[in-house]
Structure 1
Amino acid sequence: MNEFGTPHEVWALAADGETVLLRPPGPEDRDGVLAMHHTMSPESLYLRFFGASQTSVRETADRVTTPDRAGCGALIALTHDGGEVVGVVEYNGDPDSGEAELALAVADAWHGRGIGTLLIEHVVTMARADKVHTLVADTLPWNRPMLRVLEDMGLPVRNRLVAGVMNCVIPLDGDIPSTERYLTALARREALADVASLVPLFAPRSVAVAGAGRRADSVGRALLRNLKAAHFTGTLAVLHPTATEVDGVPAFPTPDLLPEVPDLVVVAVPADRVPDLVEDCGRAGVRALVVITSGATPEQAARVHDSVRRHGMRMVGPNCLGIAQTDPATALNATFGWVVPAAGSAGVAVQSGGVGIALTEQLNRLGIGVSTFASLGDKYDVSGNDMLQWWQADTRTTMAILHLESFGNPRKFSRIARAVGRTKPVLTVDAGRSAAGRRAAGSHTAAAVTPTVARGALFRQAGVTAVQTLGDLVAVAALLHSQPLPDGASVAVIGNAGGAGVLAADACVDAGLAVPRFGPDVEAELGALLPAGAACANPVDTTATVDGETLRRCVDRVLAAGHVDAVVLALAPTALGDPLGDILEGPAVRARPVLVIAPERAAAVDLLPAVGGTVPVYGDARTAAVALAHAYERAMWSTRPRGTVPALNDVDRGAARSLAAEFLLREPDGGWLPPRECARMLGTYGIRVSPWRQAFDAEEAVAMARELAPSGVDGVVVLKAYGPHIVHKSDVGGVRLRLVGDDAVRAAFTDLAHRIGALMESVVVQPMAAPGVELIAGVTQDEVLGPLVVFGLGGVTTDVLADHGTRLTPLTDLDAHSLLADSRGAPLLYGHRGAPATDTAGVEDILHRLSRLADDVPQLVEADLNPLVARPDGVTVVDARIRLAPRHGRDPYLRRLR
């Protein structure tokens, strides 16, 4: 396993959706490598070896199957059953030079299926972990397939013709795996492969149900009834050990005896029968499974997963409600729920079947309907990421709705959701917001990153609309489905009852929206439209005597003025009638969103028909305001530039990793870096700590203070207690400030030693920093989400103020800027009441360096720069802590199946 945690065996998808196995070859693979080359045509062998020599073939087979060659590495691709080698990639070089030669061969029958690209993606990660700085591939100029593979990788390839040979140079000394061009190209290839692999699931030509027994009330029979009732367009069959037909559908005892191999088998047999059935399906050539059954033991789960991978199947579940595809060309309802998904435009993926039923019912009621539905259950294989890829390619889906309790690969989720969100809103409920898992956090930074904060960072960066309840999710979906996005946060509230308008205005403000005054011109025109006694400022009280036609004219006049970005109508029936009916006779959609609050309605939200579309009508002001606020947030995210990850050319990744390795060799269980090593590690990434010295007794502290005092403010120094088990120095009274002269330093050391005792190993002596804005910047490794950068107001009050923003790494320039701009301390940083602005560019630079350090050194599990003092003339890191732990990172963007 390399530093990115790439396992010895990786299952991945070829371009056509076929599952292949990637792994380093061993001596036992020599015959397989030879066999692959022997099937290659003379032309293919010539392009690979510049000749057709069998000696070269044997030398290659011997070389790639020899393990543990320094500066060298190899991967082979095998068919999903592991029986046939279909591709070989290797790099060979001198470990001291950092340069290696890249070579690739793919079996002729597998040309054009993306095997070479897949192998190179993985070998690039291997080579970088092996300290290879440059890959060089020599190929013949007319070997267009190889040149095309390299060109399409997204890597910075430099080609030059030397003595009739094309020399292709691929530099790896930059941050290749996180460059946008490379990741975009990788994501495009993965999306194509993923969608191809899911076609047997969501567009099957034939389906078999296993578990539809003779009992009419069984889950299997419910599945069969729903499949029949939906009028599935393909062939339908039942797997049953003895019956010849079930409910009029032909039945067969085993998958291999079916008249045709089904694309999809829906499994609802008891848990102890599932592993054997899945294996039988794989042997028969089934391409996809939906496993409804729950209650599998770990051993049964392992067998199921192994069969799915070895036979190249895709699987939804187990422990799920099923899937549905409402496209009339398929008409698949492989669920056992009582709610039938109506054809529509919302893609829905949930883990909980109950949530899936509730969402489907609400989407049906609103007329939004469902395009594709998947209850993912325990997610052995197909995940939310897969569903997002499917919906991105599906023209029927205009909105993606997720209710997930976990994220298998949140980094990839973030990139996929961001890509989907550019054209289709992605909505979710932020479920599982408990902070219990962080109660024992050891540092300020870790304590700040609760699951709620971490997930919020993920959703915010990915542009996902995350709400608190299912009700809010439905409310937002209704608004996004029926109305345009607002251009801003300004709202006009128009009501026919003063109290309702006031409540609506308050709800809008509480949701972060603005309710501004219109100005004299608009107010005068509204006054001319409305009866005496009407209030024409914002909110507008039209009085109860106004009819729907006048209300519509008020809406149009307010929107025409251009002062607001949305209109909220707060309507109540009066003795003169219900104006809502008149409103619905007008246009449903204008240039800006219009929504209605009608408290007398029983439903939390309805979509009512109007001219040219529908109008969202909410039963309470809070729900309407929350929906509009989320629509505004989506509008702002959609127009925001994507940002770029800045290049940092002065970092020394190798030195930082070596420091981590040396410490963990000495401390296998990990721990806090001593001050000297902490400063060295930060220094490898260009983060300089304020001058300091470490002293182990009082006289040494005095000597160090004399040396450092001239660089402090007025010759003042600071003493800080250090010990490997002291996390928060303020908790043990471990800081002495504003010390002047030998006696003060000596007395401070003696007092610290007496108060703290054996916990104190030494003191750190520093010059007193110039005053400024005290900040905290740090990193924590979330076990699910990976590294997160934390920023906020710092110093001893950091936990009290709780001003902490978080972003996932790698930080873009916009991420770093928003951490500062969105913090409570932003006015202090950018200049407050005439005070000069601090060096915000310097603060952002430190955040970028922390982000890169966390990505490059996965053993760094916590880092605190607290306080970080920002002034107009620069930024000073006053105190720093780094904790390391033995752990492997994982390249989150490599293509791999679960």
Structure 2
Amino acid sequence: MRPRNLAVVGASNKEHTIGSDIMKRLLEYGYTGKIFPINPKDSVIHTLPAYKTVLDVPEEIDMAVIVINAKYVLSAIDQCHEKGIKGVVVISAGFKETGKEGAELEAELVRKLKEYDMTCVGPNCLGVVNTDPAYRLDACFAESLPVRGDIGFVSQSGALGGGILNILKDLNLGFAQFISIGNQADVNSDSAIEYWENIDDVKQILLYMESIADPTRFRTLATRTTKKKPIIALKAGRSAAGASAASSHTGSLAGADKAADALLKQSGVIREFSLEDLFNTAKVFSHCPVPKGNRVAIVTNSGGPGIMATDAVCEKGMQMAQLKDETKAALRAFLPAAASVKNPVDMIASAPLEHYKKTLETVLADDSVDMVVVIYLPFLGLKDIDVANAVMEIKAQHPEKPIVGVFMTQNEFFSHLSDIEVNVPFFMFAEQAVDGLARLNQQRLWIERPNTTAPRFDVDTELVETIFKNVAADNRNQLTTGESLQVLSAYGIRVCRDGEAADAEAAVALADKIGYPVVMKLNSKKISHKTDVGGVRVGIKDATQLRAEFNDLVSKLTEKGLMDGFEGVIIQEMVKSDREMVCGCAKDPQYGPMMMFGLGGVFVEVMKDVTFRLAPLNVEDAKDMIRSVKAYKLLEGARGAVPAQMNKVEETLLRLSQLVEDFGFIEELDINPLMISDKDGEPIAVDGRIKFTLTEALVASALT
């Protein structure tokens, strides 16, 4: 990104070729270093002396931009290595995106890059840009020249990146650096984040991603970097993959996009779902500081938009600032009697330019205000650009607080803004502006979020190893309910008092010991969801009822031909609870173990009030999971219920996370329900289900 000089391998005089366009962009943008065109036929290219190969250049070369046919790229890489060039941008297409032969060619490219210790952007990419005046590097073939700004942007799509570069001016945005990563043979989003973490002129990082090559590394780098500067991502490819094949509740609700979403949340990355939102958010971060709190004031000349903005503020979880009495008094001193000096401050339609200035300055001076929305509607000849200029003048004097403008006016206004330097983000609608403030607040909360680690608990791994070894030896890939509860208990998760019984009399003896009422559950090696076959009987009050329920269960299983794998029943204490939660894990093939928490019971897949995070969980991850579901209000103790022991719920999630980390072959795990005791709010696992990959378990060192 900072070459002192560079070679363009494949430079050309032929119009409308990439080799020609790259040369034009480098020259037109004023690259500050030396350019060495490489072409075996022409001696002069775009007024510069050309060389047959990089080996013929008499000076050292920092970087090579390669724009030749894919079949010649490997030999060009060899020559670059011989010349001592350490950085290459391979714009050429014709690699893994084209099929098997291209994939083999790219694999050989990767091998050479590693052998030569070279850094490569691409192949099949648009190129790179650095707008730093010390370099002025435009080594890409977008039509428009770069606009200077504070954004570091990574695009996995070359065409999309080019399109964005072409419309920057209209967006009132500019880039510090741009990298089109293409096929990501070497440099990817992780590399860019790591590089830009400590680059001062990159104030925010934007990502367009279709895949995340190394989720673990991404999480490490992004978690660290987002504490210093915002990362805003548009992650495409949101369709779920493989979820329908999963047999657990967690697995059926999971999916590739949920894993990606969890990764971005845990890394502090702000995720957007459209290019419009991506750049609206970028615009806010370009012109606004991170606020000190979430209290918003609204200044408007129309009541309706002020009310809509107020609704949006509340819906986004922020607060309407409570203006101080002295602030209201100062506003009353110059605003007409019909105006409202409460928040939102409605100056009414007749508000002149002077009222906009004095009102905004007065509101900004109130230390109970963290952010301000200024709304303008055209009334009585007041010009939009005059109001905008006044707002920007005041912003220059008060850079410490975010100000956003909502100007419900003609498109000509926004076209005019693209031709001037602005220091305030302007939007057409109030909801867009408030969305931007919510993103600022999201970044504030992330920065303030404590840095916690994944705790390690003292657990009985030997017992769990023995259980898995025995199950694997039985050629099974799924634990019975009894075995699953044993595993959970060994990891310190509170399970209800229980025991296994092979026949009715053993069940009665066990129930007498536990104490009535009890629950009887089917214990089978073949049946996963017991409720589907009538395998859960609750509220059993005495021995007579227990014998009858046992015999009825056996009779129904026999009728349906489901006795194969029947191990008997599990007798459990009956936990009284109106609050049933679910927690578990599903293993994503790319992202690894995904932890799930939410509203449980028989409605888990209907209500889908669940949230996901990737293991390992840290303490804050567990807290976030619990707070982010709608059922959190039930846990707090709605309608006079005893509040859940939140620390124990958090600990349950953390212990589960440790379990799936310790035994990586666990494929699916459910605790459903995790009951919240009506008596004291303790979370109690009353049912468990664990499935694992048999082949992985057999070769795991712990089981050999």
Shift in Å, 1:554: 2.0
Aligned residue number for residue 722 of structure 1:
524
Out of 280, 286, 300, the position equivalent to 1:495 is 300
- The CA deviation string for residues 336-372 of structure 1, in whole angstroms up to 9 with x for no partner, is 1112222332111111123323433454445542222
Shift in Å, 1:488: 3.1
Structure 2 residue identity aligned to 1:647: R
Cα separation, 1, equivalents of 2:539 and 2:482: 23
- The CA deviation string for residues 761-813 of structure 1, in whole angstroms up to 9 with x for no partner, is 22432224221231111112222222222111211111222121222222222
Shift in Å, 1:849: 1.0
Residues 372-771 of structure 1 aligned to structure 2 (within 5 Å): 372-515=177-320, 518=323, 523=328, 525-578=330-383, 581-582=386-387, 584-585=389-390, 586-589=393-396, 590=398, 591-602=400-411, 614-648=423-457, 650-653=458-461, 656=464, 660=468, 663-664=471-472, 667=475, 671-695=477-501, 700-712=503-515, 714-720=516-522, 722-724=524-526, 726-739=527-540, 740=542, 741=544, 742-754=546-558, 756-758=560-562, 761-762=565-566, 763-771=568-576
Conserved in 1, the CA contact under 8 Å of 2:86 and 2:117? yes
Out of 794, 804, 816, the position equivalent to 2:610 is 804
Out of 680, 684, 691, the position equivalent to 1:876 is 684
Cα separation, 2, equivalents of 1:444 and 1:607: 54
Cα separation, 2, equivalents of 1:375 and 1:610: 27
Shift in Å, 1:579: 5.5
Cα separation, 1, equivalents of 2:16 and 2:513: 86
Cα separation, 2, equivalents of 1:539 and 1:873: 41
Conserved in 1, the CA contact under 8 Å of 2:142 and 2:165? no
Q: Secondary structure at the match of 1:402?
A: strand
- The CA deviation string for residues 547-602 of structure 1, in whole angstroms up to 9 with x for no partner, is 12212222233343444432212211112312551452331153422211112242
Q: Secondary structure at the match of 2:304?
A: helix
Q: Secondary structure at the match of 2:629?
A: coil
Cα separation, 1, equivalents of 2:113 and 2:467: 42
User: 5+ residue gaps in structure 1?
Assistant: 1-201, 890-898
Q: Which moved more, 1:612-621 or 1:401-410?
A: 612-621
Conserved in 2, the CA contact under 8 Å of 1:587 and 1:611? no
Shift in Å, 1:448: 2.5
Cα separation, 1, equivalents of 2:523 and 2:472: 24
Shift in Å, 1:705: 3.8
Cα separation, 1, equivalents of 2:164 and 2:420: 27
Structure 1 residues 814 and 651, CA gap change in structure 2 (3 angstroms): same
Conserved in 2, the CA contact under 8 Å of 1:388 and 1:416? yes
Aligned residue number for residue 238 of structure 1:
37
Whether 2:594 is the aligned partner of 1:791: answer no
Q: Which moved more, 1:536-545 or 1:635-644?
A: 536-545
Conserved in 2, the CA contact under 8 Å of 1:781 and 1:788? yes
Conserved in 2, the CA contact under 8 Å of 1:584 and 1:609? no
Shift in Å, 1:504: 2.6
Structure 1 residues 610 and 260, CA gap change in structure 2 (3 angstroms): closer
Aligned residue number for residue 370 of structure 1:
175
Conserved in 1, the CA contact under 8 Å of 2:499 and 2:572? no
Conserved in 2, the CA contact under 8 Å of 1:316 and 1:380? yes
Out of 856, 864, 876, the position equivalent to 2:670 is 864
Conserved in 1, the CA contact under 8 Å of 2:587 and 2:668? yes
Cα separation, 1, equivalents of 2:294 and 2:30: 46
Cα separation, 1, equivalents of 2:162 and 2:418: 25
- The CA deviation string for residues 431-482 of structure 1, in whole angstroms up to 9 with x for no partner, is 2222244233321112232334322322222111112211112111222221
Cα separation, 1, equivalents of 2:443 and 2:480: 45
Cα separation, 2, equivalents of 1:731 and 1:212: 69
Shift in Å, 1:280: 3.5
Conserved in 2, the CA contact under 8 Å of 1:709 and 1:767? no
- The CA deviation string for residues 604-647 of structure 1, in whole angstroms up to 9 with x for no partner, is 97896999971211112221121111111111111121123323
Cα separation, 1, equivalents of 2:121 and 2:207: 15
Structure 1 residue identity aligned to 2:552: A
Structure 2 residue identity aligned to 1:353: G
Residues 820-859 of structure 1 aligned to structure 2 (within 5 Å): 820-859=626-665
Structure 1 residues 425 and 380, CA gap change in structure 2 (3 angstroms): same
Conserved in 2, the CA contact under 8 Å of 1:341 and 1:360? yes
Aligned residue number for residue 107 of structure 1:
none
Cα separation, 2, equivalents of 1:394 and 1:288: 18
Shift in Å, 1:375: 0.3
Q: Secondary structure at the match of 1:289?
A: strand
Conserved in 2, the CA contact under 8 Å of 1:344 and 1:367? no
Structure 1 residues 220 and 659, CA gap change in structure 2 (3 angstroms): farther
TM-score normalised according to structure 1 size: 0.71
Shift in Å, 1:880: 0.8
Cα separation, 2, equivalents of 1:334 and 1:574: 48
Conserved in 2, the CA contact under 8 Å of 1:608 and 1:615? no
TM-score normalised according to structure 2 size: 0.89
Shift in Å, 1:382: 0.6
Conserved in 2, the CA contact under 8 Å of 1:588 and 1:612? no
User: 5+ residue gaps in structure 2?
Assistant: 96-101, 698-704
Aligned residue number for residue 317 of structure 1:
122
Conserved in 2, the CA contact under 8 Å of 1:475 and 1:605? no
Shift in Å, 1:526: 3.4
Conserved in 2, the CA contact under 8 Å of 1:348 and 1:401? yes
Structure 2 residue identity aligned to 1:471: E
Structure 1 residues 371 and 603, CA gap change in structure 2 (3 angstroms): farther
Shift in Å, 1:754: 3.9
Structure 1 residues 753 and 575, CA gap change in structure 2 (3 angstroms): same
Cα separation, 2, equivalents of 1:659 and 1:311: 49
Conserved in 1, the CA contact under 8 Å of 2:479 and 2:525? no
Structure 1 residues 366 and 455, CA gap change in structure 2 (3 angstroms): same
C-alpha RMSD of matched pairs (Å): 2.9
Structure 1 residues 301 and 524, CA gap change in structure 2 (3 angstroms): same
Shift in Å, 1:820: 2.0
Residues 321-336 of structure 1 aligned to structure 2 (within 5 Å): 321-336=126-141
Cα separation, 1, equivalents of 2:461 and 2:24: 60
Whether 2:99 is the aligned partner of 1:300: answer no
Conserved in 1, the CA contact under 8 Å of 2:301 and 2:346? yes
Q: Secondary structure at the match of 2:395?
A: coil
Aligned residue number for residue 277 of structure 1:
76
Structure 1 residues 223 and 538, CA gap change in structure 2 (3 angstroms): same
Cα separation, 1, equivalents of 2:394 and 2:632: 43
Percent identity, aligned pairs only? 30
Q: Secondary structure at the match of 1:320?
A: coil
Structure 1 residue identity aligned to 2:665: Q
Structure 1 residues 784 and 339, CA gap change in structure 2 (3 angstroms): farther
Conserved in 2, the CA contact under 8 Å of 1:607 and 1:614? no
Cα separation, 1, equivalents of 2:446 and 2:535: 45
